[in-house]
Amino acid sequence: MTQDRVLPEPRFLSRGGVQEWVEILAEKYPGVFSQERLRVVGVDVPPAEILNARNEVVEPKGGRWELGPGTYQVKFGFEFPEELRRSEIRPQMFWRSSNHRLGCGGRSFWAGTYEKPEDDLLFGAEVVGFYDVMNPYGVVIEQGASLAQVCFARYRRQPIPIVVSDLLVPAQVTEFMGPGEIRRDKTSLPKTKEATARGNKLVLKKNVPYLVEFRGRVFLGSNEVVVPITPRWDELENYKIERLLQYSCLGDPGYKGRLGMLVIPTLDVTLNREEGVARVAKFGVIPLGEMTEYAGQWQDGEGANEPEIEFRSSFRGYF
């Protein structure tokens, strides 16, 4: 039985609202933005250039970047316009879910420098993202394949109510045993193996990337999204959470299935099977023009007997 839904704060523009900004951006950056790249609440963008940790350009071979483990800068070849900065809308960027499923991802996006106010972080220069390849076998990225997602959200100067999930408990934890490939049409997943377990405990090793799928499923409505969040109180109540770097993505309206993320322990960590380690926050979608629902590669309608992940805690904060 579906639970009574907690109403989230409307924040993200629907496809119709995103379309207006994509048209503006496509006039100046037709090689980056197009109607074909529009998604449910955002628009996908491909890399324009990739630099390694020595600030050297990584040249694609045969139309593909072959990246070994390490940290990279991904340049996206566009700037957000000043008229967007002057509006009540702010861009937000997320790495697409294909990245963490392959043992890659990042957190920060910035323009020019990340030493400026958060609401100015994506303005004033070309947008760049820190990109970490944690999979020890690396990753392959086809030129033109979408790596990140640009969303547009209502800008609020005051704290807003944030609805968060109960703590998510791992259902399946796997290690990477080969590289994956992010292609224009479809992502090719790497080989994996089950993580080490000792009885009712999971043994996670320092600096080893793990793909974690959580128990339960989300059934997002046409006006709901989820994003990863780590409240400080969770880290204070359970020191193990602070030791787990978490990489995830935005969950689109209409998505049905398990939630997953990439987890990298900064120290050896042993988890009980019933121990929750992560949360997501739910936000609403502002209905502007066309609205659609997710129907992509990762939609998972199976496992309907698993309980629905509950959202019932809330606090006021900035996002």
Structure tokens at 192: 């994996």
The pLDDT tens digits of the residues spanning 131-163 come to 999 999 999 999 999 999 999 998 877 777 789
Q: Please check whether residue 213 is in contact with residue 172, taking contact to mean a CB–CB distance below 8 angstroms.
A: yes
Domain spans in the chain, listed from the N-terminal domain onward: 10-154, 160-317
- More confident: 184 or 162: 184
- More confident: 102 or 8: 102
CA distance 20 to 39: 13
Quickly state the pLDDT bin for 315 (edges 50, 70, 90). low
Helix (H) / strand (E) element for 17: namely helix 15-28
Say whether pLDDT at 319 is over 60. Answer: no
The pLDDT tens digits of the residues spanning 228-251 come to 988 888 888 889 999 999 999 999
CA distance 46 to 55: 19
The pLDDT tens digits of the residues spanning 279-309 come to 999 999 998 888 888 877 777 755 557 889 9
Say whether pLDDT at 317 is over 80. Answer: no
Candidate from 126-130, 141-145, 231-235, 270-274 with smallest mean pLDDT: 231-235
Candidate from 25-29, 113-117, 258-262 with smallest mean pLDDT: 113-117
The pLDDT tens digits of the residues spanning 48-97 come to 999 999 999 999 999 999 999 999 999 999 999 999 988 989 999 999 99
Give phi and psi for 70, each to the nearest 5: 150, -175
The pLDDT tens digits of the residues spanning 247-266 come to 999 999 999 999 999 999 99
Give phi and psi for 232, each to the nearest 5: -60, -30
CA neighbours closer than 13 Å in the CB half-sphere of residue 299: 11
Report the CATH architecture of 10-154: Distorted Sandwich (2.70)
- Name, in order, each residue with C-beta under 8 angstroms of 123's C-beta and a sequence gap of 6 or more: 79, 80, 82, 84, 85, 111
pLDDT of 2 reads 43
The pLDDT tens digits of the residues spanning 166-179 come to 999 999 999 999 99
pTM of the model: 0.91
Average pLDDT over residues 105-122: 78
Give 74-112 as a DSSP string. EE-S--B-HHHHTSSEEEEEEE-HHHHHTTEE-S-EEES
pLDDT of 3 reads 46
Using the CB atoms, write b or e for 137-175: b if 16+ within 10 Å. Answer: bbbbbbeebbbbbbbbbbeeeeebebbbbebbbbbebbb
CA distance 239 to 108: 24
Residue 280 CA to its chain's centroid (Å):
11
What CATH number has the domain spanning 160-317? 2.70.40.10
Identical topology for domains 10-154 and 160-317: yes
Say whether pLDDT at 5 is over 60. Answer: no
The pLDDT tens digits of the residues spanning 208-226 come to 999 999 999 999 998 999 9
